[in-house]
Amino acid sequence: MSPDRFASAGPPFDVIAVPETVVLKADRMRLRMVWRSGEEAEVGAARLRAACRCAWCTRARIDGTFSASFDDVAIERLAPVGDYAINIVFSDGHARGIFPWAYLREIAQSNAISSAPVAAQAMPSAQLRSGPFE
């Protein structure tokens, strides 16, 4: 293979971390994800906002000005970022966070909120099919 060509053995992200379903709950305070393995997780908007790793949030943490709490923050919008992540827009106006699927799964696993069946939850206000989005 010539040195000017890029060879790839697969996608540049962990396909196992890509959820099969992503649901923004009707209250806009929770994001529910279901993976092909059957694993389910729900993560609150406050937890996601606090976990943002954008440059602005990283700088605020370094400077000691990052908020200690995001209890009243809701999720305003979700947008796909290629096949590897989603952008989450929050009600406090923050819209810079790109959350790769692997990072979202890590947050969900550390969060460990209920794994009740999806059907038992409230009606979703938005639903995304991941990998790739339709």
Instruction: Give the pLDDT confidence of 5-14 residue by residue, as tens digits.
Output: 545 455 556 7
Cis ω for the linkage preceding 124 (within 30 of 0): no
CA–centroid distance for 129 within its chain: 13
Q: What is the pLDDT of residue 124?
A: 39
CATH of domain 27-129: 3.30.2020.30
Q: What is the pLDDT of residue 4?
A: 53
Interval 70-126: pLDDT, tens = 999 999 999 999 888 999 999 999 999 999 999 999 999 987 643 433 333 333 344
Percentage of the chain lying above the pLDDT 70 cut: 73
Tell me the mean pLDDT in the region 123-132: 43
